């Protein structure tokens, strides 16, 4: 089973920490520090695997990989395959990339509840649940729909037209579809009255 | 409008995704990112915590703000600060109707709380409600939380709903329900044991994703109990076959591999099921072979599948053909530039060498390369491999490598591991005493305090006993070489305590035994040790006892003893020591020196540390005295049990046994505490004057007594360290727990084996090791560079290859690429060592050669015949030796498959019909345990299907029939999977 997933930057700051067996906060910090120490001491162009039985108990290993400034670390035991874990990590990063279009460290930090949502689609209770990044992106978008109902999109567009705020990136990767739909709606409607209605709904949804 | 504007601006500045965070959060992250010190960061975070506290507590905070604060709280806790004040808000948020807030709430509680937290009880109700929700996303969120938060007590509250969800129409929900059930099973197997059959049912789910998810719990269940899942072997093989034949929807492909993650899981399961089970393994051979042949070496995941195949092959009942393919795959791994693949190659090699030790020899150079690699992980893995393949012929090289490596690393955990492995190997395979002692010295010097204390005691015992042979000369040589090396080492400034203990003990016991060193020289050294380590009482105790031994040997030999001045002062100092143990030892030492030679010789016999102490438990030597007393009118002794009327327990011996057997309630008083220092401290010498009442029996001539300085809880040692409790123990205690003084029983004399008597197995292993001769290893110094030398000594490869050459003179020399090195060595070896070869007895060579030649493929006669046929049609010079080459393999395999197919040609027609009309065969399987009668039939049908093999014509036909039935093979069709399985 997978014991934990950690994303941290190259200075040892945790960006995403998820242990599938509960670890108290102090223990978590200690583990993160020790893992960071291990990763720092690794030379370049060596294997992506490290045995961490001294930290986690017998036969536990970790797979790590650096993407730009971030270390992605999967910790798991002998019931998983090292190379497959490496690929799962790749899939995870792909999914992040699709969700944030060109993911970077700030995306991971700033949207870390979304990153958690993505991770939860891949791994549940320490077991791999899904291995297809587009499936995961689809599900996450479906969840995001609740975060961003179509009316809200329209409101955002209205804002853009009326006030010059570009709020479209809220819509994420679904933005374009909704945009065309919303623009249609907006232009078909009779200006102010619809706009006021939309703004009202915007406020109700947000608050 | 102004308010709107403000909200809009705030939103615009912050987020990029769809999860809306504010500028404040961005600022927080930025400022933390820019901090230069930990203190600065802490200040910022503490300020943030204060802000969050006030804002979260404010009842007027709008929900979307609340959500953001929670996220910020999570962030703060991730940085290692306490955020427990906010947990309750997270719990509150899970109650929200809006999915957005609900999810955030669930995320926060799953990260904040452990499953035994008090707040969990507040969430259970919400989870229960959400599991019943119409919105499947809400259900998913609740299942996520349930996986993490539901503990043993609350499982019953949600279990019915989770089970219901196993049949949910959305596959995402089913998947998660399976996982949740599995988590419950992990957490409290008892509470869901009646639902385990659900996993079997879900295995034939219409959706391959759900099926794949089910493999995780099944893997664990099978790990725990293989036998109750043997009936699923054929189902698993079938699923794997379908996956490998790309019958799954395209969306499961990854890097052009059909569902590789599912394949890996299945191979793992098959490996478990086939382990040591020939019948089950036979089902797997074809499909595993197929996968290995078709694998794609360019992608990472392809190699992962291949590696898993190797693991599977090495785990199931060995099949020569597959093993050979696996060996080829390993050589590909090892030749790769990627460290990852080489790591896997080494790992796989370790697995295969268990079955066939010869395989490692083909890859000696690659292994050596890995040993010298910069990558620590790879190195460790390689050491693991070397540890597995250590034999008496290569133990020296391997252990030396390990010791060298051990000296250079800092990681204590790994150092300990390597040190104990070195000790283990050295004990098991040591070629000579000299070498053994030297190796142990090195290990102890560098990792003395890390290795288990038992190891030190083992070493002492080994030196005392020798290697279990009766050859006294060899033993004394061992001892004197040990003494010699220790007198040299003892001068080193810093030595680990455990090592000093060994040194002191050995010097005390054998320092003067061979007469090479004088007593004053050794005792001087011992005094130095005791003085240098003023804080280490254990070492001091060892040293004082050793001094006592040295002097008593001197006295017993009739020589005049002159205490060295430093020894005098040491004793003086210890007489006033705070440690009672040291004090007692010092007094004893004093008393010992004052005794006459005869008494001392009895007290401290030479080299008797390993002799058994015979204790006359029945105190038969008192019989005469008792007889006399009774004759004089004394009352005969009535045993305690008789006095108490406990007729069923006739004597104490049986009472003791009784107690050992039935761990029932004990009504007698508490046991005496064992003296805490006994495991580490050698027992104190019995000194007649001080301990007179306790040590009576030892003095009696009929008791064969010898001291046991080996630290172990021997009866003598423990009795002496105890308080005198004779009187007390007669009332409550167990007489037999105590020193023999108090045992006034009339049971038979029992022989108490000293704690230091050797276990037989070790002794015999050692004696085996000592039979090993050096002959098998021949140095190839002049012809090979450094590396090849190492390889040769590690694997015995060079010497082996020339043997092989001589025995197989009729064979064509190997010329496939991975044997290039070997053939080179062979040639040079034949030219250089030709003279040597002829001088050796020919029968020996032939024997060895034959074993090497045939043991690779022990049971391949039919294939060999086929090869013969094939060989004749080809140009003989281009052939590889034997049938080991990868190029021939598929042909032969396909031939084999063809013939088997022809035999079963009749059955295929029937099979097609079964495909059409059987609605769900696999579900029949999963129930097979319940309906054994039907099970038999289905198994038979499916075995036939299995043997179809990769026949494309058949599968096309089947496909066609399926299409005729109006079913198109796609993921959307719910019946597809059933059909495929059926």
**Residue B922 near residue B981 (C-beta atoms within 8 A):** yes
Both A106 and A140 in a single domain?
Answer: yes
Is residue A19's pLDDT more than 80?
yes
A125 to B183: CB separation less than 8 angstroms, yes or no: yes
Name the percent of chain B in helix, strand, coil, to the closest 5: 65, 0, 30
Of B11, B216, B340, nearest to A83 by CB-CB distance is B340
Asked if the C-beta of A10 comes within 8 angstroms of chain B's C-beta atoms, the answer is no
Both A121 and A171 in a single domain?
Answer: no
Both A139 and A185 in a single domain?
Answer: no
B260 to A84: CB separation less than 8 angstroms, yes or no: yes
Q: Find, among B240, B259, B239, the residue nearest to B250 by Cα.
A: B259
Sign of CA dihedral B172, B177, B178, B179: positive
pLDDT the model gives residue B307: 93
B172 to A139: CB separation less than 8 angstroms, yes or no: yes
Both A164 and A96 in a single domain?
Answer: no
Q: What are phi and psi of B296, to 5 degrees?
A: -110, 110
Minimum Cα–Cα distance from B183: chain A residue = A125
Both A12 and A97 in a single domain?
Answer: yes
Residue ranges with strand state E in B11-104: none
Residue B680's Cβ-count burial label (10 Å; 0-12, 13-18, 19+) is middle
A81 to B268: CB separation less than 8 angstroms, yes or no: yes
Q: Which residue has the higher pLDDT, A118 or B977?
A: A118
The predicted model scores a pTM of 0.64
Residue to substitute from A21, A44, A80, A125, interface B, most B β-carbons within 10 A = A125
Task: Tell me the two tokens of residue B481.
Answer: 């070489």
Q: Find, among B974, B970, B967, B950, the residue nearest to B915 by Cα.
A: B967
- Rounded Cα–Cα distance for residues B860 and B851 (Å): 15
Tell me the average pLDDT across A170-177.
41
A47 to B380: CB separation less than 8 angstroms, yes or no: no
Question: Rounded to a whole number, what is the distance in Å from the CA of A168 to chain B's nearest CA?
Answer: 9
Of B19, B98, B303, nearest to A111 by CB-CB distance is B19
Q: What are phi and psi of B54, to 5 degrees?
A: -65, -40
Task: Tell me the two tokens of residue B103.
Answer: 């999810």
Question: Rounded to a whole number, what is the distance in Å from the CA of A183 to chain B's nearest CA?
Answer: 19
Minimum Cα–Cα distance from A99: chain B residue = B17
pLDDT the model gives residue A104: 84
Is residue A133's pLDDT more than 60?
yes
Asked if the C-beta of B297 comes within 8 angstroms of chain A's C-beta atoms, the answer is no
- Rounded Cα–Cα distance for residues A6 and A74 (Å): 7
Task: Tell me the two tokens of residue B785.
Answer: 């560079």
CA distances from B238 to A25, B282, B925, B980 (A): 46, 13, 12, 9
pLDDT digits (tens, 9 = 90+) for B249-291: 888 888 888 889 999 999 999 999 999 889 999 999 999 999 9
Question: How many helices (DSSP H) and strands (DSSP E) are in chain B?
Answer: 52, 2
pLDDT the model gives residue B708: 41
B63 to A142: CB separation less than 8 angstroms, yes or no: no
Query: Of chain B residues 178-207, which have a CB less than 8 A from chain A?
Result: 179-180, 182-183, 186
Cα B116 to the chain's mean position, in Å? 30
Both A134 and A160 in a single domain?
Answer: no
Residue to substitute from B5, B9, B16, B18, interface A, most A β-carbons within 10 A = B18
**Residue B532 near residue B497 (C-beta atoms within 8 A):** no
Helix boundaries (H) for B576-649: 580-594, 597-603, 623-631, 640-644
Say what the alpha-carbon torsion angle B403, B404, B410, B414 is, to the nearest 10 degrees: -40
pLDDT digits (tens, 9 = 90+) for A50-106: 988 888 888 899 999 998 889 999 999 988 999 999 999 999 999 999 888 788 888
| DSSP β-bridge partners for residue A116 | none
Helix axis angle for B537-556 and B497-510, nearest 10°, is 10
- Rounded Cα–Cα distance for residues B762 and B214 (Å): 46
Task: Tell me the two tokens of residue A105.
Answer: 């460290």
Residues of chain A positioned with their CB less than 8 A from the CB of B264: 81, 84
pLDDT the model gives residue A148: 53
User: What total of structural domains would you count in chain A?
Assistant: 2
B175 to A130: CB separation less than 8 angstroms, yes or no: yes
pLDDT the model gives residue A147: 56
Domain boundary residue, one of A96, A111, A144? A144
CA distances from B462 to B377, B501, B513, B519, B889 (A): 34, 15, 17, 23, 51
Asked if the C-beta of B375 comes within 8 angstroms of chain A's C-beta atoms, the answer is yes
Neighbouring C-beta atoms of residue B607, cutoff 10 Å? 16
Query: Of chain B residues 104-123, which have a CB less than 8 A from chain A?
Result: 104, 107, 111, 114-115
Residues of chain A positioned with their CB less than 8 A from the CB of B172: 139
- Rounded Cα–Cα distance for residues B876 and B867 (Å): 12
Asked if the C-beta of A40 comes within 8 angstroms of chain B's C-beta atoms, the answer is no
pLDDT the model gives residue B313: 92
CB pairs under 8 A between A and B: 208
Asked if the C-beta of A22 comes within 8 angstroms of chain B's C-beta atoms, the answer is yes
**Helix (H, G, I), strand (E, B), or coil: what is residue B6?**
helix
**Residue B11 near residue B20 (C-beta atoms within 8 A):** yes
Query: Of chain A residues 155-174, which have a CB less than 8 A from chain B?
Result: 159, 163, 165-167, 169-172
Residues comprising chain A, all counted:
207
Domain boundary residue, one of A144, A159, A182? A144
Residues of chain A positioned with their CB less than 8 A from the CB of B375: 43, 46-47
- pLDDT tier, A154 (very low <50, low <70, confident <90, very high otherwise): low
Minimum Cα–Cα distance from B114: chain A residue = A22
Asked if the C-beta of A200 comes within 8 angstroms of chain B's C-beta atoms, the answer is no
Looking up tokens 């090699």 gives B349
Both A75 and A130 in a single domain?
Answer: yes
- Rounded Cα–Cα distance for residues B445 and B755 (Å): 27
Domain boundary residue, one of A107, A124, A144? A144
A109 to B29: CB separation less than 8 angstroms, yes or no: yes
Mean pLDDT over each residue of chain A, to the nearest integer:
78
pLDDT the model gives residue B46: 92
**Helix (H, G, I), strand (E, B), or coil: what is residue B399?**
helix
Task: Tell me the two tokens of residue A39.
Answer: 């990763």
B413 to A54: CB separation less than 8 angstroms, yes or no: yes
A114 to B17: CB separation less than 8 angstroms, yes or no: yes
A146 to B182: CB separation less than 8 angstroms, yes or no: no
Which CATH number characterizes residue A117's domain?
3.30.450.60
Query: Of chain B residues 151-170, which have a CB less than 8 A from chain A?
Result: none
Both A110 and A15 in a single domain?
Answer: yes
pLDDT the model gives residue B173: 92
Of B17, B176, B308, nearest to A124 by CB-CB distance is B176
Parallel, antiparallel or unpaired: strands A123-124 and A127-128: antiparallel
Q: What are phi and psi of B858, to 5 degrees?
A: -70, -30
Asked if the C-beta of A101 comes within 8 angstroms of chain B's C-beta atoms, the answer is no
Both A80 and A166 in a single domain?
Answer: no
Residue to substitute from A74, A127, A144, A150, interface B, most B β-carbons within 10 A = A127
Minimum Cα–Cα distance from A88: chain B residue = B261
- Rounded Cα–Cα distance for residues B916 and B503 (Å): 80
**Residue B230 near residue B197 (C-beta atoms within 8 A):** no
Ramachandran category for residue B878: left, alpha or beta (phi over 0 → left; psi -120 to 50 → alpha): alpha
Residue A75's Cβ-count burial label (10 Å; 0-12, 13-18, 19+) is buried
Instruction: Show the low-confidence residues of chain B (pLDDT under 50).
Output: 1, 4-19, 649-655, 657-662, 677-783, 797-950, 962, 966-982
Minimum Cα–Cα distance from A41: chain B residue = B376
A127 to B103: CB separation less than 8 angstroms, yes or no: no
Both A15 and A89 in a single domain?
Answer: yes
Residues comprising chain B, all counted:
982
B15 to A82: CB separation less than 8 angstroms, yes or no: no
Both A122 and A162 in a single domain?
Answer: no
Q: What is the DSSP string of chain A?
A: -EEEEEEEETTS-EEEEEESS---HHHHHHHHHHHHHHHHTPPTTS-SEEE-HHHH-TT-EEEEEEETTEEEEEEE-TTS-HHHHHHHHHHHHHHHHHHHTS--HHHHHHTHHHHHHHHHHHEETTEE----HHHHHHHHHHHHHHHS-HHHHHHHHHHHHHH----GGGGGGGHHHHHHHHHHHHHHTTTHHHHHHHHHHHHHHH-
- pLDDT tier, A45 (very low <50, low <70, confident <90, very high otherwise): confident
Asked if the C-beta of A197 comes within 8 angstroms of chain B's C-beta atoms, the answer is no
- pLDDT tier, A156 (very low <50, low <70, confident <90, very high otherwise): low
**Residue B554 near residue B604 (C-beta atoms within 8 A):** no
Asked if the C-beta of A4 comes within 8 angstroms of chain B's C-beta atoms, the answer is no
Asked if the C-beta of A49 comes within 8 angstroms of chain B's C-beta atoms, the answer is yes
pLDDT the model gives residue B311: 93
Q: Find, among A31, A116, A15, A19, the residue nearest to B115 by Cα.
A: A19
Question: Rounded to a whole number, what is the distance in Å from the CA of B941 to chain A's nearest CA?
Answer: 32
Which residues form the domain of A157? 150-206
Cα B585 to the chain's mean position, in Å? 42
CA distances from A47 to B385, B390, B927 (A): 17, 25, 45
Both A81 and A104 in a single domain?
Answer: yes
Asked if the C-beta of B705 comes within 8 angstroms of chain A's C-beta atoms, the answer is no
Residue to substitute from A41, A87, A97, interface B, most B β-carbons within 10 A = A87
Of A88, A147, A206, nearest to B18 by CB-CB distance is A147
């Amino acid at each position: 089973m997978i014991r934990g997933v950690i994303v941290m930057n190259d200075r040892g700051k945790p960006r995403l920490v998820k242990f599938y067996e509960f670890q108290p906060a102090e223990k978590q910090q200690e583990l993160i520090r020790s893992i960071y120490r291990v990763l720092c001491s690794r030379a370049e162009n060596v294997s992506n695997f490290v045995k961490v039985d001294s930290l986690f108990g017998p036969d536990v290993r970790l797979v790590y990989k650096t993407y730009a400034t971030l270390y992605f670390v999967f910790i798991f035991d002998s019931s998983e395959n090292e190379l497959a874990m490496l690929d799962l990590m790749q899939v995870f990063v792909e999914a992040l990339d699709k969700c944030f279009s060109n993911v970077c460290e700030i995306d991971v930090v700033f949207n870390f509840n979304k990153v958690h949502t993505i991770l939860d689609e891949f791994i549940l209770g320490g077991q791999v649940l899904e291995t297809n990044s587009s499936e995961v992106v689809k599900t996450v978008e479906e969840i995001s729909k609740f975060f961003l109902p179509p009316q809200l999109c329209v409101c955002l567009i209205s804002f853009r037209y009326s006030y010059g705020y570009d709020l479209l990136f809220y819509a994420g990767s679904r933005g374009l579809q909704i945009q065309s739909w919303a623009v249609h709606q907006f232009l078909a409607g009779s200006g102010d009255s619809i706009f006021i209605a939309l703004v009202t709904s915007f406020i109700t949804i947000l608050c | 409008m102004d308010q709107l504007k403000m909200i809009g601006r705030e939103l615009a500045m912050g987020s990029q995704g769809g999860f809306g965070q504010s500028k404040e959060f961005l600022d927080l992250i930025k400022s933390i990112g820019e901090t230069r010190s930990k203190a600065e960061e802490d200040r910022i975070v503490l300020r943030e915590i204060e802000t969050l506290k006030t804002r979260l507590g404010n009842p007027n905070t709008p929900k979307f703000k609340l959500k953001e604060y929670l996220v910020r709280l999570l962030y703060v806790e991730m940085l290692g600060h306490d955020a427990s004040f906010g947990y309750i808000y997270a719990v509150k948020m899970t109650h929200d109707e809006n999915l957005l807030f609900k999810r955030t709430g669930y995320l926060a509680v799953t990260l904040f709380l452990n499953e035994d937290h008090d707040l969990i009880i507040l969430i259970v109700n919400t989870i229960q409600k959400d599991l019943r929700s119409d919105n499947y996303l809400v259900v998913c969120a609740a299942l996520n939380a349930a996986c993490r938060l539901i503990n043993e007590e609350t499982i019953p509250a949600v279990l019915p709903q989770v089970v219901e969800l196993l049949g949910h129409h959305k596959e995402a929900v089913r998947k998660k329900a399976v996982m949740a059930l599995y988590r419950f099973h992990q957490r409290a197997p008892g509470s869901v044991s009646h639902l385990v059959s659900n996993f079997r049912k879900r295995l034939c789910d219409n959706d391959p994703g759900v099926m794949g998810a089910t493999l995780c719990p099944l893997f664990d269940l099978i790990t725990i109990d293989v036998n109750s899942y043997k009936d699923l072997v054929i189902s698993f093989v079938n699923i794997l076959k379908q996956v490998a034949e790309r019958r799954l929807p395209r969306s499961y492909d990854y890097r052009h591999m059909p569902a590789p993650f599912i394949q890996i899981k299945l191979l793992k399961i098959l490996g478990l099921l086939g382990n040591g089970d020939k019948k089950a393994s036979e089902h797997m051979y074809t499909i595993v072979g197929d996968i290995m042949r078709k694998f794609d070496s360019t992608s990472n995941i392809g190699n992962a599948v291949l590696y898993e195949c190797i693991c599977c092959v090495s785990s199931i009942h060995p099949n020569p053909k597959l093993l050979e393919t696996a060996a080829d795959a390993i050589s590909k791994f090892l030749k790769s530039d990627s460290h990852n693949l080489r790591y896997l190659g080494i790992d796989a090699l370790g697995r295969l060498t268990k079955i066939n030790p010869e395989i490692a020899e083909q890859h000696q150079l690659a292994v050596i390369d890995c040993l010298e690699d910069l990558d620590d992980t790879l190195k460790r893995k390689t050491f693991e491999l070397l540890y597995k393949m250590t034999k008496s012929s290569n133990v020296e090289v391997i252990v030396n490598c390990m010791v060298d490596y051990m000296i250079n690393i800092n990681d204590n955990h790994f150092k300990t591991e390597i040190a104990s492995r070195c000790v283990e190997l050295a004990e098991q395979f040591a070629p000579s005493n000299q070498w053994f002692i030297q190796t142990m010295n090195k290990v102890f010097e560098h990792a003395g305090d890390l290795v288990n204390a038992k190891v030190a005691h083992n070493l002492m015992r080994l030196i005392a006993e020798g290697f279990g042979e009766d050859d006294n000369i060899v033993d004394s040589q061992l001892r004197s070489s040990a003494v010699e090396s220790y007198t040299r080492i003892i001068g080193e400034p810093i030595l680990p305590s455990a090592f000093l203990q060994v040194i002191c003990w050995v010097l005390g016991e054998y320092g003067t035994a061979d007469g090479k060193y004088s007593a004053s020289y050794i005792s001087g050294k011992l005094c130095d040790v005791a003085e240098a380590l003023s804080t280490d009482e254990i070492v001091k105790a060892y040293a004082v006892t050793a001094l006592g031994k040295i002097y008593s040997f001197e006295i017993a030999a009739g020589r005049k003893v002159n205490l060295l001045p430093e020894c005098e002062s040491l004793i003086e100092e210890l007489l006033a020591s705070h440690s009672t143990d040291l004090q007692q030892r010092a007094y004893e030492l004093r008393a010992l020196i004052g005794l006459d030679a005869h008494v001392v010789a009895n007290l401290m016999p030479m080299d008797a540390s390993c002799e058994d102490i015979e204790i006359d438990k029945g105190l038969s030597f008192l019989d005469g005295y008792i007889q006399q007393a009774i004759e004089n009118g004394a009352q005969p002794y009535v045993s305690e049990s008789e006095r108490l009327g406990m007729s069923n327990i006739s004597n104490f011996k049986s009472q003791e046994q009784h107690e050992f057997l039935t761990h029932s309630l004990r009504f007698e008083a508490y046991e005496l505490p064992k003296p805490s220092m006994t495991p580490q401290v050698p027992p104190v010498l019995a000194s007649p004057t001080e301990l007179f009442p306790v040590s009576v029996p030892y003095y009696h001539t009929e008791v064969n007594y010898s001291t046991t300085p080996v630290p172990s809880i021997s009866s003598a040692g423990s009795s002496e360290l105890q308080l005198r409790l004779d009187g007390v123990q007669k009332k409550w205690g167990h007489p037999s727990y105590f020193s023999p003084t108090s045992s006034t029983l009339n049971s038979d004399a029992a022989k108490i084996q000293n704690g230091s008597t050797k276990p037989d197995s070790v002794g015999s292993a050692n004696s085996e090791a000592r039979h090993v001769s050096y002959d098998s290893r021949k140095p190839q110094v002049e012809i090979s560079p450094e590396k090849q030398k190492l390889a040769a000594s590690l694997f015995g490869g060079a010497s082996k290859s020339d043997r092989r050459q001589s025995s197989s003179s009729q064979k064509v020399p190997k010329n496939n690429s991975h044997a290039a090195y070997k053939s080179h060595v062979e040639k040079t070896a034949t030219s250089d060592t030709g003279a040597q070869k002829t001088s050796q007895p020919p029968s020996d060579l032939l024997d060895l050669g034959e074993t090497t030649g045939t043991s690779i493929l022990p049971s391949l006669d039919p294939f060999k015949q086929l090869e013969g046929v094939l060989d004749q049609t080809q140009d003989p010079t281009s052939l590889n030796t034997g049938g080991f080459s990868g190029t021939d393999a598929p042909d032969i395999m396909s031939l084999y498959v063809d013939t088997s197919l022809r035999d079963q040609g009749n059955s295929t027609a029937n099979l097609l019909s079964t495909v059409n009309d059987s609605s769900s065969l696999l579900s029949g399987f999963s129930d097979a345990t319940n309906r054994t009668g039907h099970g038999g039939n289905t198994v038979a049908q499916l075995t036939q299907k299995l043997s179809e093999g990769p026949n494309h014509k058949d599968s096309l036909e089947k496909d066609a029939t399926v299409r005729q039935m109006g079913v198109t093979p796609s993921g959307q069709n719910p019946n597809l999977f059933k059909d495929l399985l059926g």
